[in-house]
Chain A
Amino acid sequence: MPSPAVKPPRPAPKTDRTLSFVDAVREAAELEMARDPNVIVFGLDVDDPKAIQGTTRGLPERFGPERCFGTPLSEDAMTGAAIGMALAGLRPVHVHIRMDFLLLAMNQLLNVAAKSRYMYGGRVNVPLVVRAMIGKSWGQGAQHSQGLHGMFMHVPGIKVVAPATPYDAKGCLAAAVRDDNPVLYVEHRLLHFTKGPVPEAAYTVEPGKARVTRRGADVTLVGISSMQVECLRAAAYLADVGIEAEVIDPIWLSPLDMDTICESVERTGRLIVVDTAWTNCGAAAEITAQVAERLQGIRDLRLKRMGFAPTTCPTAPNLEDLFYPNARTVAAAARDLVEDVKTGWLPAERADLKSIEFKGPF
């Protein structure tokens, strides 16, 4: 195990070009399909007028219905078929507009895709990408809101990535498509219409590298997927009271860059992992446990996990607000951790740090 050397944060991408997350995903898919004729994109509704929030817009027209097609409502069989295509050398991207629908395909994903290379003694690969979207707010409710990435992190043989910016959305999708292993590509619907710098040319954001998105010495905030945005906002609230938070985006959850996280926590001594999922047995639990294992006896630690309330997601807006962590609750928890007391502080909402609004109907 290499010692956790101090790594500088990777430089921010240099480009004047701004793109939405949706367009970054669409551009990555288009570039990869143009680069490699084996790349195909399919899933329920990928060729309908809404084109999966726009992420597949134009792909059927440019590449034809054989390389981009809508499927029957058959997640199990289509996942199995995707595996068969991958075994034959295609590089399928199977799109699910809801992550919850992956539960219909778990046998194929975890018993076959994740295990084929190992159980067949290295004789086959399954270069499959599964795009899955986590919903939030406007009453998405019990079965359209789940963050199930932790279940996939649990199982060896499938990689998991959860980009939080348009830059990473494009680079991670390209990396996932070029990877010879199955990759679960997690998208959060509230991130879809965020904008950020995205270079025009193709590039990859490689597995297993986290990014330090803000430097600070007092507390480490690890924000997963949409919670990365909330953590950066929380850092702004904390700065108002003189606390400097370091914020890390793991980007890839499997493989997970624990060196970068541990290096930070070794300096700050305090860690909050904020996930867009339940905390039990999830990504936050795993990251926290690995930090404790590596730094116990080396550094006095204060650790905390934040995520969904341990209940099913409600639809009533007031209950929904309580269900999710947000920038202000993260900031409050971080201040308590830093000052080691229950301060009772909750920052007043700043207009410039409001959470992303989502208008329905769906």
Chain B
Amino acid sequence: MLARLYRSLYRIRRVEEEVARAYPTDKIKSPVHLSIGQEAVSVGVCAALRPTDVVFGTYRGHALYLAKGGDLNAMVAELYGKATGCARGKGGSMHLVDTAAGVMGTSAVVGTTIANAAGYAYALKTRRSDAVVVSFFGDGASEEGVFAETLNFASLKSLPVLFVCENNGYAIHTSQAKRQGRPDIAARAEAYGIPAERLDGNDVVGLLERTRTVLSGMRALGGPHFFEVKTYRLREHVGPGRDFALGYRAEAEAEPWVTNDPVQKLAARLPAGERVAIEQEVEAEVAAAFAFAEASPFPAAGELMTDIYQEAGDALACR
């Protein structure tokens, strides 16, 4: 289990470091919201999911997409705007999708997919499926009306949706304390009758175990559940760099998160030989993904006007 978690964490970290490295070449003409520092939330939760479970996420969605099994080549190609991308080069970093892997989409508008996740869960419930939906969103989304509206609906209909609030403490450059009268997001879920708990976003093993327990209850009994997961974004809101020089947060604030970086922590718990083997495999895979993206063609001009509507006879695109 530790090896599997480490592979996923290390792979996401390295992909995003490569995105940051390649970014100054301007080949990635897409805003990128890096998950660096927050990967363990997606990795821990998604490690407890089945392939048939479904996730919805946000524009900071690279980690979620990869943790849920989204295709790496297709993601990097999407960032490069290539025809082989997961959205055929037409969505970019903020609209990652891999329906085969259960990644049902990510939105550039804060809070938007929370309700989409609840609706998907409603559909699963009508089919008597034991699959669940996990809705990932940030602390900022909890200020949107759609958050409250969706919690009520999920509670009312006892929907099989696990809400995961990735609380990194900032909406762009504004701290949670400057935005929320009562910065206790889990309590708001409890107010709707949804069992809620606060978890450590760096404890990847704890997240996996807790998710596993919660989901087995949800699959058997239905009903939503809520995680408020405290985490920290180490890079700037959007873009490849660091932003402590902006002055809205002190670098000292990041220190405990760096010290407890789950990638390093987990690495230290693996036998050296096993760790190195994983890292070498991942490095090769990541290099191949960037080479694939570089070598892939841009979409044909005719793609500009395709997929605006489903036309009669069109099949859904799949990888």
Contacts and interface: CB of A to CB of B under 8 A. Distances in A.
A171 B89 CA distance: 37
Given A111-B109, A112-B112, A121 B150 contact: no
Interface stretch (B27-35, B235-243, B305-313): B305-313
Contacts of B307: 117-118, 121-122
Nearest to B54: A88
B62 to A, nearest CB: 16
Interface in B103-142: 104-105, 107-109, 112-124, 126, 133
A78 B91 contact: no
B95 to A, nearest CB: 5
A296 interface: no
A126 B243 CA distance: 38
A315 interface: no
A68 to B, nearest CB: 12
Contacts of A118: 90, 307-308
Interface in B163-187: none
Contacts of A121: 85-91, 97, 307, 317
A36 to B, nearest CB: 13
A85 B119 contact: yes
Which of A40, A67, A108 has most B Cβ within 10 Å?
Answer: A108
A331 B235 CA distance: 66
A117 B122 contact: no
A120 interface: yes
A83 B316 contact: no
Nearest to A88: B123
Contacts of B273: none
B99 A123 contact: yes
Contacts of B95: 119-120
B91 A120 contact: yes
A122 B314 CA distance: 9
A353 interface: no
B105 A116 contact: yes
B312 to A, nearest CB: 9
Interface string A43-62: 00000000000000000000
Given A121-B90, A123-B97, A123-B99, A81 B309 contact: no
A111 B133 CA distance: 22
B123 A122 contact: no
A90 B104 contact: no
Contacts of B120: 84-85, 87-88
A71 B97 CA distance: 29
A118 B253 CA distance: 41
Interface in A97-129: 107-108, 111-112, 116-125
A78 B123 contact: no
Contact of B316 (A40, A112, A122, A156): A122
A83 to B, nearest CB: 5
Contact of A124 (B90, B97, B122, B152): B97
B156 interface: yes
B24 interface: no
Contact of B308 (A74, A84, A117, A123): A117
- Size range of the interface on B? 35 or more
Contacts of B298: none
A77 B306 contact: no
A119 B87 contact: yes
A76 interface: yes
Contacts of B99: 123-124
Contacts of B145: 76-77
Nearest to A80: B115
A207 to B, nearest CB: 9
B116 A66 contact: no
A279 B309 CA distance: 27
A90 B126 contact: yes
Interface in A133-184: 156-157, 159, 179-181
Nearest to B131: A88
A81 B153 contact: yes
B316 A124 contact: yes
A216 to B, nearest CB: 34
B310 A125 contact: yes
B154 to A, nearest CB: 9
A91 B85 CA distance: 28
B100 to A, nearest CB: 9
B146 interface: yes
A82 interface: yes
A157 B149 contact: no
Nearest to B95: A119
A79 interface: yes
A117 B309 contact: yes
A76 B118 CA distance: 12
A84 B85 CA distance: 23
Nearest to B309: A181
B156 A87 contact: no
Contact of A108 (B115, B133, B316): B115
Contacts of A125: 310, 316
A89 interface: yes
Contact of A87 (B107, B114, B116): B116
Contacts of A89: 123
Interface of B: 54, 56, 85-91, 95, 97, 99, 104-105, 107-109, 112-124, 126, 133, 145-146, 149-150, 152-153, 156, 306-310, 314, 316-318
Which 5 pairs across A and B sit closest by C-beta, in order of nearness?
A80-B115, A84-B119, A121-B88, A77-B149, A81-B119
Given A82-B119, A117-B308, 11 more contacts: A78-B115, A81-B150, A84-B116, A84-B117, A84-B120, A84-B133, A87-B119, A108-B115, A123-B317, A156-B308, A181-B310
27 contacts: A40-B126, A74-B149, A74-B150, A77-B152, A80-B113, A81-B150, A84-B119, A84-B123, A85-B119, A85-B123, A87-B116, A88-B119, A88-B123, A90-B122, A90-B123, A111-B108, A116-B105, A117-B307, A118-B90, A120-B86, A120-B91, A121-B87, A121-B307, A121-B317, A123-B316, A124-B99, A124-B104
Interface of A: 40, 66-67, 71-72, 74, 76-90, 92, 107-108, 111-112, 116-125, 156-157, 159, 179-181
